Amino acid sequence: MTKKRSYAFVFFTAFFIMLIAMLPMIIYNGGIFTYYGDYNSQEIPFYYHVNEQIRQNGLFGFDWGTDLGSSLFTAYSFYNTGSIFFYLTLLVPQGAVVYVMPVIMALKTAVAALTSYAFMGRFLKKNSSCFIGSMLYAFSAAQCYNFFFYHFHDAAAFFPLLLLALEMYVNDGNRGVLALTTALAAFTNYYFFISEGVFFIIYLVIRCIYKGEGFDITVKKFFGIVFECAVGILMAAVLLLPSALAIIDNPRLENSLSGLDYIVYSDKYRILRIIQSFFMMPDPPARSNIFNADSANWASIAGYLPLFSMIGVIAFLRSKKKSFIKTLCLTLFVFALVPILNSAFQLFNTTYYARWFFELSLITALMTAYCFDKSDEVDIKKGVVPTGIITLVFVLVYFLPKNEDGELVFFDMAEYDALFILQVAVTLALFLTAILLIYFVKKDERYTRRVAGVTALSCGLFLAVNIYYGISQGPDPEKYLDATINADITLPESDTFYRIDTSENTDNFPMLWGYSTMRCFNTNVSTSIMEFYQSLGFTRDVASRIDTQYTSLRTLLSVKYYLDEVDDDDSNDFSEYGFEYLETQNGFDIYENENYVSMGLFFDEYISSDVFENLTTDQKCKMLTKAVVLDDDYAEALGLTELESVQATYNTYNLKNTAEQLRETACYDFEYDSYGFSAKINADSSGLVLFSVPFDNGFTATVNGDEAEIIKVDNGLCAVFVNEGESEIEFSYFTFGVKQGAVISGCGVVIFAAYMIINKRRKRKCI
């Protein structure tokens, strides 16, 4: 008889392993956990900022604090607005949000351990074996790597439930669970839902092929699975639809594979890097090492399991002649090694990511745990020698000679020597520990429990090493906190709208200060922002970072202050760009833009799109303060005059004079909130009033109470037409697609409810 499962023990073990690993840093920082890279520059600011916005303004409004402005809901639906874990932070005071983030991380990890434990219980008998598998999954290299990407753990926490719900539907006759888990996965993170969906399909197909192995599938059940998944997607439409509409024009989605790229990776080291990641402690984000390449820096290439590496996986593959788990694992490895198959996990986009490896880790963890649960079927010793040999091969790569300027150089293969030594030391130490467990520990009734205990300790060690190496790569924690969370940046009060800009390596700091900024590191801002910047010749993929020399652009975007982080070697002088030094606060020199103009600029001249396209970036930035960019037919229909001689205008351009002219004709009153803005203008002639907010279908507008068309100008910004004289302009905002998505979700809930009622009645009749 199977013992009662130890769910609470698994949950709290994983919770405290994660929390204890972070504890030294939490104590050092006075209660706040800091890391490096995206964790500091995205995850902390995003959690704080979105939490603050929801408390003050609700979820579906316009967020003025993200780049030039974006829908709060969709700009962060990839990060946290679909996360149950995020919404838990609304239960604590705003100031405590950053303090509870490490607790939330521990909670995510505990849930991942709990759900994987429940899933593995479908295939394993011993509680201790399930515990081993759950720890390996929750603290796998994929999870430790993605500590850098805090929000990735949301998807990993619930992923095992999808597979568990499938097993429950087919084998136990449970109805509705699959629909609910599908809705949960879809709502939690739409990006990972795609990869989870691909994985689910692969799992289902192979499970059907091996239906004799405890999978009682029928045609009726198959279509029932499809139905429940569809209903789950419908119920999540309130997030899926607006998110899809918001990103559909994102230029990052436009790339696709072609030619040999379908079957061969263009990076010649990628396959070696992938294989290495299953046998050694992984390279951390932004630190690809032996097989160095920029394309691998944030790709989440990590498949290693703490302590056992691939010992259990290889042993399983060698011992089991026929098994759906074996076929599934081999299929997934093929997917990892073939470009077109790997890209299926992200809708066949060309950008290389292995962010689905946490899903593969669930299967490899199950295979490893299986070795201890059913040692009569799988001899784990069969995996020791192959794993040792492959690991040794990758270690020896470090000793290969390199040809530098005609001379052979030894011990120079690693990009980061200290990291490689650490990787080898941890990998070998855990490998030797595994050998001791496999060959020298007594195989009695307590053996698996002993292995489980060592596994938990090894996971904690592995996690801590990964965490503190990452911390060592980041900024000084005290300096970071002083510049962000603990900073008291107070700019002069103003009765007009303005944005600020900041210097390099301060991405998203203003979110923690409470100011709107043109510098923003967020992948999912309004696509109109990307279109606008790219039309100027700037790269806008993951962040908006515009060189200080383009001061006219800052005039257009109502940037009033520039904050330059003080550096010991810093001797910046921004006076040549029209910025006047005011004072220094919290390690930032504050400069005021002498050419600042508030929101709502009036233009009665235009530049045709064809002419604009052929200008240089500097010319474009300056000409945007002289005229709007529109197609000829549209501009002529509005009665606008084409700007004469763009080159002559550029040659005689004076930003100070231009700014003064813009101030004289701009809106004299501008008020805004999260659900729109209003402006007043007294125009000397008819023309367009431009607002430097991204064109978004969530906006509607009126001029003097009459409905007005919002015109897309400058390849991404908003404008409305006004006649000569006094005009009152009103813009209203509500995230586009939410209402339609809510209707679809409502229909999904009704269908689900009816489905559950019908099933309940059928069960009663059967009784």
Cβ proximity of 717 and 553 under 8 Å: no
- In the DSSP assignment, the letter for residue 415 is S
Residues with Cβ within 8 Å of residue 320, at least 6 apart in sequence: 326, 377, 378
Cβ proximity of 240 and 231 under 8 Å: no
- CA distances in angstroms from 113 to 23, 328, 560, listed in the order given: 20, 21, 49
Q: For residue 109, which of 371, 434, 358, 470 has the smallest C-alpha distance?
A: 358
65: phi then psi, degrees, rounded to nearest 5:
-95, 5
pLDDT given for residue 1 in this prediction:
37
In tens, the pLDDT along 348-368 reads 988 899 999 999 999 999 999
Q: For residue 384, which of 420, 431, 340 has the smallest C-alpha distance?
A: 431
In tens, the pLDDT along 700-737 reads 999 999 999 999 999 999 999 999 999 999 999 999 99
pLDDT given for residue 405 in this prediction:
76
Q: How far is CA 746 from the centre of its chain?
A: 28
Q: For residue 528, which of 249, 255, 738, 240 has the smallest C-alpha distance?
A: 249
pLDDT given for residue 547 in this prediction:
93
203: phi then psi, degrees, rounded to nearest 5:
-60, -45
- CA distances in angstroms from 310 to 356, 381, 392, 398, listed in the order given: 18, 12, 13, 21
Burial class, 252, CB count within 10 angstroms (exposed 0-12 / middle 13-18 / buried 19+): middle
Which amino acid does the sequence have at 254? E
Count of residues making up the chain: 767
Q: For the chain, give percent helix, strand, coil, nearest 5.
A: 55, 15, 35
pLDDT given for residue 260 in this prediction:
83
Q: For residue 60, which of 51, 47, 73 has the smallest C-alpha distance?
A: 73
pLDDT given for residue 764 in this prediction:
73
Q: For residue 700, which of 743, 735, 667, 742 has the smallest C-alpha distance?
A: 735
Strands (E) located in 405-445: 407-409
Per DSSP, what are the bridge partners of residue 688? 603, 721
- CA distances in angstroms from 665 to 592, 604, 711, listed in the order given: 22, 11, 19
Buried b (16+ CB within 10 A) or exposed e, 648-679: ebbeebebeebbebbeebbbeebebebebbbb
Name residue, tokens 């302009």.
729
- Residues 349 and 368: their CA atoms lie apart, in Å, by 32
Q: What are the structure tokens assigned to 226, written together?
A: 């499809």
Q: CB neighbours (10 Å) of residue 758?
A: 11
Residues of the chain with pLDDT under 70: 1-3, 254-255, 568-571, 766-767
Cβ proximity of 177 and 168 under 8 Å: yes
Q: What are the structure tokens assigned to 71, written together?
A: 């829908």
